[in-house]
């Protein structure tokens, strides 16, 4: 079923000296249970488009619909809290919270009690294939692959159905890259997430159900 | 959850956190010590300004010291003594000079005699000090009383005490050229018993005439009014003598003789501060209050009376007393005039018309305070027995026809008040006048030195306070930067996870504020305790007293503490603490607001950590 839809989405960055049109009229519909890959040259607008899907900002023109509702009228804080999570190339974990606490964070943010959150976090951490020992470790003490798994676990923890990932494998070796892709694929196929992954890596793109190609802020297929 | 996560994260950088806590504590302590010291020194200064007064006295110096001779017929020798002479009194107006900044202009105080027949002024058996007797007498043969002769008391015209001898020894002993006395004539005179030395170890007594019949009234300008009876010691009483001018005057004198026993001295001034007994502390208000500045300024009919006088006459504060004033003495202070006798003030009782001085002003005064005088000794600088103090302006009639004595400015009659700390300027300006004949004495009870000490403390307090404020600001700015700006990313992640801006703010601020809270509470408390301890030490070691010495007058009222050292107010410490917390809160808010300006997308999509 359709969960996210972009309709003639435009976005431009306003800098001191110029206006950069990063996204120019992208329309696409995303469904749960699928993994999408967005590919394209550097600067083609992939990250910008993903940020719009994540509700980090609103399109300057056009609309993003979440389950049929216009993002512009939604509370985007609660959208991110409840429906969509982002996974980054640089993991963006809380360095001063343990692995478990990192995953607990979005759960507790929704008002779940500490005990239950801890339990749920532990389950998710197991689910993404991390050893139990990492629960009390800080992110710095973990490998890149482990950190990215943790980031995915945190994304899943939010309880929404959308995972947005911006080059999640960019900092990883090929073995870990493979694992992460499988994890994301699993999330899409068995846990019914809509997974949207930006990647430069054709191997990663090859695993996706759909591949979106961008150039100069536009979709070209 | 927010608070827990916030604290958790701040506690996980323990070195930074502990450093922050210590520095905030230190800065808070520094600021508190500074503010407390500042407040204490200010409050001390205010107290001292109230307690301390700076006054000056002016005295006209004797122009020449004459060797004077007094013949004593009884001892057949001249006694020599040094008599002082003054040039004509220098007018008060010379003290209104450039650079003289007075709180109370110089006043030359008179004291007045108030006739109070209905009050008890002396214990009933009090000897007047001088047993003056007015008699008519005869001699048995013609003689010159330049030696001891026997006279017959024919009639006692006035005597205060029983006097029942009919013949007494008499000698006009201090008069080098006594008049001849004739047998068969009757004379009238005022006389007094005086001792003389018969040999090295024993004394005899002889009656000596005293000049009381002459008038020594002064004009407003300080000139003695002429009177033909000045210098007369005895006069012949002839038939119908008491109908003559001279005779009537003797009767008037008799009438005056009882006045001193019913007269109290009333000093008129513009400020109690100007009176040396009060300034030195030998006299003080024991009940009621001092005459207020307003009362002095308005000339309200209020007075201070002696505590013993009030007690004997059952007077209390608030009672009214009628003061009929009949003479003015512009030469002495009351204390000086009554130095040798509690009754007789040392001037003649008849005016130039040969009559008793009439009451020139009479009004009812309300007693506002009772004056206690401690320490014995009497001088111009002490209070006289029964002395009453009234505002100069309350007297609404001229005393120009009632001046019994007049003299130049003396330290005990002439004083002024200047602002604390202006002694030096005044002295310099005064010296420029070149009035060598006037002697200036200034008193400030040690204010100048104390003030210098206080100023030092205040500067120190200011430096501490400034250092505390600067340290607080720097520390807070530095750590806000460290904890907040440096954690932009944390805020961005929180935002991307759907945390609202306000919640991000709370998440960031709560941990920091908690540390600031602890630090400033502990710091302020430490600062408070430190200053309290300091205050205790200071007040314990140097509570100062009012012991002081001036030239000829020595007054020592040991250990009377006139002002308490101030203690730090707890509220100031609490306010300091609150201000630090508030400032930290505002600063953190501002810094976070800056963080939140960045959309998380830029920060988070960076590819390297
Ligand atoms: N914060 C920004 N301010 C101004 N311009 C920006 C900003 N972020 C991106 N851009 C510009 O917008 C355009 C699209 O950038 P975007 O990051 O979306 O590209 P991308 O496809 O993700 O590139 P890459 O593969 O290198 O990550 C680029 O020209 C980029 O320079
Ligand atoms: Mg990108």
Q: Is residue B324 part of a domain?
A: yes
pLDDT in tens, B465-500: 999 999 999 999 999 988 888 888 888 899 888 888
Contacts of residue A89 in chain B, CB cutoff 8 Å?
605, 607
Neighbours of ion ligand 2 (CB under 5 A): A 47
Rounded CA-CA distance A38/A4 in Å is 15
The alpha carbon of residue B48 is apart from the nearest alpha carbon of chain A, in Å, by 58
pLDDT in tens, A89-121: 888 999 999 999 999 999 998 889 999 999 999
Supply the pLDDT for residue B448.
Answer: 85
Protein residue with least CA distance to atom 6, ligand 1: A13
State the CB neighbour count (10 A cutoff) for residue B318.
Answer: 9
Judged against a pLDDT cut of 90, whether residue A9 lies above it is answered with yes
Q: Is residue B219 part of a domain?
A: no
State the CB neighbour count (10 A cutoff) for residue B396.
Answer: 9
Supply the pLDDT for residue B127.
Answer: 53
Q: Is residue B523 part of a domain?
A: yes
Q: Is residue B515 part of a domain?
A: yes
Buried b (16+ CB within 10 A) or exposed e, B554-585: ebebeeeebbebbbbbeebbeebbebbbebbb
Average pLDDT over residues B206-223: 93
Judged against a pLDDT cut of 50, whether residue B140 lies above it is answered with yes
E strand or H helix at A186 = helix A174-189
**Are A86 and A196 within 8 A, CB to CB?**
no
> Which of residues B409, B433, B457 is at a domain's end?
B433
Supply the pLDDT for residue A57.
Answer: 87
Same domain? B576 vs B517: yes
pLDDT in tens, A44-96: 999 999 999 999 889 999 999 999 999 999 998 889 888 999 998 888 999 99
User: Six-digit token pair at B468?
Assistant: 């505390």
Q: How far is CA A66 from CA A22, A52, A74, A159, A188, in A?
A: 22, 11, 9, 15, 17
DSSP, collapsed to helix, strand or coil, labels residue A87 as strand
For residue B290, give the DSSP letter: P
Rounded CA-CA distance B328/B348 in Å is 12
Q: How far is CA B54 from CA B104, B279, B412, B456, in A?
A: 10, 9, 16, 21
Total domains in chain B come to: 2
Same domain? B454 vs B598: yes
Supply the pLDDT for residue A210.
Answer: 96
Same domain? B478 vs B429: no
pLDDT in tens, B159-192: 887 777 889 999 998 888 898 999 999 999 999 8
Supply the pLDDT for residue B75.
Answer: 80
B200 against B585, higher pLDDT: B585
The answer, yes or no, to whether any atom of ligand 1 lies below 6 A from the CB of A47, is yes
**Are B406 and B89 within 8 A, CB to CB?**
yes
Supply the pLDDT for residue B552.
Answer: 24
Sequence-ordered alpha helix ranges (H) in B231-390: 245-256, 276-280, 293-298, 307-312, 334-337
Q: How far is CA B370 from CA B114, B304, B305, in A?
A: 18, 6, 5
Pairing of strands A162-166, A210-215: unpaired
Same domain? B590 vs B460: yes
Determine whether the interchain pair A92/B489 forms a contact, defined as Cβ–Cβ distance below 8 Å.
Answer: yes
Same domain? B289 vs B410: yes
User: Six-digit token pair at B466?
Assistant: 């400034």
Q: Is residue B201 part of a domain?
A: no
Determine whether the interchain pair B599/A167 forms a contact, defined as Cβ–Cβ distance below 8 Å.
Answer: no
E strand or H helix at B107 = strand B104-108
Determine whether the interchain pair B609/A79 forms a contact, defined as Cβ–Cβ distance below 8 Å.
Answer: no
Backbone angles phi, psi at B443, to 5 degrees: -130, 135
The answer, yes or no, to whether any atom of ligand 1 lies below 6 A from the CB of A14, is no
Same domain? B370 vs B293: yes
Backbone angles phi, psi at A108, to 5 degrees: -65, -30
Backbone dihedral region for residue B271 (phi beyond 0: left; psi -120 to 50: alpha; all else: beta): beta
Domain that holds residue B417: 97-125+262-433
Determine whether the interchain pair B496/A80 forms a contact, defined as Cβ–Cβ distance below 8 Å.
Answer: yes
**Are B385 and B342 within 8 A, CB to CB?**
yes
CA B331, B335, B341, B344 torsion-angle sign? positive
The alpha carbon of residue B609 is apart from the nearest alpha carbon of chain A, in Å, by 6
> Which of residues B381, B400, B433 is at a domain's end?
B433
Q: How far is CA B310 from CA B102, B241, B368, B371, in A?
A: 34, 44, 12, 9
- Flag whether residue A53 sits within 8 Å of chain B, measured between CB atoms: no
Give the residue from B227, B272, B279 showing the smallest Cα distance to B249: B227
Q: How many residues would you count in chain B? A: 609
pLDDT in tens, A135-193: 999 999 999 999 999 999 999 998 789 999 999 998 888 889 999 999 999 999 999 99
State the CB neighbour count (10 A cutoff) for residue B421.
Answer: 16
Supply the pLDDT for residue B135.
Answer: 94
- Ligand 1 pocket check: which of A48, A49, A200, A216 to mutate, most ligand atoms within 8 Å of Cβ? A48
Rounded CA-CA distance A148/A183 in Å is 10
Axis crossing angle, helix B501-542 with helix B570-597, rounded to the nearest 10: 160
Residue B555 pLDDT grade (very low, low, confident, very high; cuts 50, 70, 90): very low
Across chain B, mean pLDDT equals 87
**Are B101 and B418 within 8 A, CB to CB?**
yes
Give the residue from B516, B529, B508, B519 showing the smallest Cα distance to B573: B529
Q: How far is CA A43 from CA A37, A138, B63, in A?
A: 16, 33, 110
User: Six-digit token pair at B526?
Assistant: 């430490």
Determine whether the interchain pair A92/B498 forms a contact, defined as Cβ–Cβ distance below 8 Å.
Answer: no
**Are B582 and B476 within 8 A, CB to CB?**
no
Judged against a pLDDT cut of 90, whether residue B579 lies above it is answered with yes
State the CB neighbour count (10 A cutoff) for residue B111.
Answer: 31
pLDDT in tens, B252-286: 999 998 898 899 999 999 999 999 999 988 899 99
> Which of residues B433, B459, B490 is at a domain's end?
B433
pLDDT in tens, B87-120: 888 999 999 998 889 999 999 999 999 999 999 9
* Residue with token string 């407040």: B39
Q: How many residues would you count in chain A? A: 221
Same domain? B389 vs B497: no
Buried b (16+ CB within 10 A) or exposed e, A28-59: bebbbbbbbbbbbeeebbbbbbbbbbbbbebb
Same domain? B384 vs B501: no
For residue B179, give the DSSP letter: P
Q: Is residue B554 part of a domain?
A: yes
Q: Is residue B560 part of a domain?
A: yes
Percent of chain B exceeding pLDDT 90 equals 57
pLDDT in tens, B375-407: 766 788 999 989 999 999 999 999 999 999 999
Same domain? B463 vs B420: no
Protein residue with least CA distance to atom 24, ligand 1: A42
Same domain? B459 vs B517: yes
Same domain? B559 vs B419: no
Judged against a pLDDT cut of 50, whether residue B559 lies above it is answered with no
Q: Is residue B333 part of a domain?
A: yes
State the CB neighbour count (10 A cutoff) for residue B273.
Answer: 19
Same domain? B413 vs B456: no
**B544 Cβ neighbours under 8 A, 6+ residues apart:** B446, B450, B561, B562
For residue B261, give the DSSP letter: G
Axis crossing angle, helix B501-542 with helix B2-11, rounded to the nearest 10: 60
Supply the pLDDT for residue B165.
Answer: 80
Average pLDDT over residues B328-345: 86
């Amino acid at each position: 079923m359709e969960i996210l839809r972009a309709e003639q989405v435009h976005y431009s960055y306003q800098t001191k000296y110029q206006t950069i049109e990063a996204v120019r009229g992208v329309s696409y519909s995303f469904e749960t249970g699928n993994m999408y890959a967005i590919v394209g040259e550097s600067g083609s607008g992939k990250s910008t488009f993903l940020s719009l899907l994540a509700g980090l900002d609103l399109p300057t023109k056009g609309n993003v619909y979440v389950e049929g509702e216009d993002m512009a009228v939604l509370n985007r804080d609660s959208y991110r809290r409840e429906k969509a999570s982002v996974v980054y190339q640089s993991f963006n974990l809380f360095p001063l919270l343990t692995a478990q606490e990192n995953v607990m964070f979005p759960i507790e943010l929704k008002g779940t009690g500490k005990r239950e959150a801890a339990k749920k976090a532990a389950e998710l951490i197991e689910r993404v294939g991390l050893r139990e020992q990492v629960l009390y470790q800080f992110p710095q003490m973990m490998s890149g692959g482990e950190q990215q798994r943790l980031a995915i676990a945190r994304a899943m923890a939010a309880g929404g159905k959308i995972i947005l990932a911006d080059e999640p494998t960019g900092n990883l070796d090929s073995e870990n890259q493979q694992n992460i892709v499988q994890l994301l694929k699993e999330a899409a196929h068995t846990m019914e997430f809509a997974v949207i992954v930006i990647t430069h890596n054709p191997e990663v793109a090859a695993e996706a159900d759909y591949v979106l190609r961008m150039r100069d802020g536009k979709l070209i297929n | 959850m927010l608070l827990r996560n916030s604290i958790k994260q701040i506690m996980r950088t323990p070195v930074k956190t502990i450093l922050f806590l210590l520095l905030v504590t230190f800065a808070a302590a520094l600021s508190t010590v500074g503010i407390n010291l500042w407040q204490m020194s200010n409050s001390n200064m205010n107290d001292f300004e109230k307690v301390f007064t700076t006054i000056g006295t002016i005295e006209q110096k004797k122009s020449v010291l004459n060797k004077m001779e007094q013949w004593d017929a009884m001892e057949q020798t001249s006694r020599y003594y040094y008599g002082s002479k003054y040039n004509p009194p220098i007018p008060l107006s010379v003290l209104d000079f450039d650079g003289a900044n007075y709180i109370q202009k110089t006043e030359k105080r008179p004291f007045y005699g108030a006739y109070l027949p209905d009050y008890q002024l002396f214990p009933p058996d009090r000897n007047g000090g001088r047993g003056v007797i007015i008699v008519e007498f005869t001699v048995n043969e013609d003689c010159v009383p330049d030696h001891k002769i026997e006279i017959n008391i024919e009639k006692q015209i006035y005597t205060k005490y029983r006097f029942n001898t009919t013949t007494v020894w008499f000698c006009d002993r201090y008069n080098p050229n006594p008049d001849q006395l004739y047998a068969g004539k009757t004379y009238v005179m005022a006389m007094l018993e005086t001792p003389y030395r018969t040999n090295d170890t024993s004394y005899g007594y002889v009656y000596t005439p005293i000049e009381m019949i002459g008038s020594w009234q002064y004009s407003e300008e300080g000139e003695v009014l002429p009177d033909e009876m000045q210098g007369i010691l005895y006069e012949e009483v002839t038939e119908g003598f008491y109908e003559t001018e001279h005779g009537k005057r003797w009767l008037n004198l008799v009438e005056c003789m009882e006045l001193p026993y019913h007269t109290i001295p009333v000093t008129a001034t513009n400020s109690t501060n100007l009176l040396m007994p009060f300034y030195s502390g030998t006299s003080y208000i024991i009940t009621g209050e001092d005459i207020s500045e307003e009362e002095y300024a308005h000339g309200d009919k209020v007075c201070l009376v002696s505590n013993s006088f009030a007690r004997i006459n059952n007077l209390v504060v608030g009672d009214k007393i009628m003061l009929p004033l009949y003479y003015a003495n512009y030469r002495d202070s009351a204390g000086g005039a009554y130095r040798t006798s509690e009754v007789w003030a040392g001037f003649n009782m008849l005016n130039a018309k040969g009559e008793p001085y009439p009451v020139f002003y009479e009004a009812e005064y309300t007693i506002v305070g009772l004056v206690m005088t401690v320490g014995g000794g009497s001088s111009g600088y002490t209070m006289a027995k029964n002395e009453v103090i009234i505002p100069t302006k309350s007297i609404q009639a001229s005393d120009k026809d009632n001046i019994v004595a007049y003299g130049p400015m003396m330290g005990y009659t002439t004083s002024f008040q200047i602002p604390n700390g202006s002694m030096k300027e005044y002295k310099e300006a005064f010296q420029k006048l070149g009035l060598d004949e006037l002697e200036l004495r200034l008193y400030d009870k040690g204010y100048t030195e104390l003030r210098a000490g206080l100023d030092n403390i205040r500067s120190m307090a200011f430096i501490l306070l400034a250092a505390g404020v600067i340290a607080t600001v720097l520390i807070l700015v530095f750590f806000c930067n460290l904890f907040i700006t440096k954690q932009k990313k944390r805020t961005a992640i929180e935002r991307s996870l759907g945390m609202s801006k306000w919640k991000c703010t709370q998440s960031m601020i709560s941990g920091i504020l908690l540390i600031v809270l602890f630090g400033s509470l502990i710091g302020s408390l430490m600062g408070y305790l430190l200053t309290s301890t300091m205050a205790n030490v200071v007040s314990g070691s140097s509570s100062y007293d009012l012991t002081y010495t001036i030239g000829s007058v020595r007054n020592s009222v040991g250990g009377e503490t006139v002002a308490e050292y101030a203690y730090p107010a707890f509220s100031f410490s609490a306010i300091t603490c609150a201000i630090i917390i508030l400032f930290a809160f505002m600063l953190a808010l501002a810094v976070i607001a800056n963080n939140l300006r960045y959309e998380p997308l830029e920060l988070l999509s960076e590819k390297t950590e």
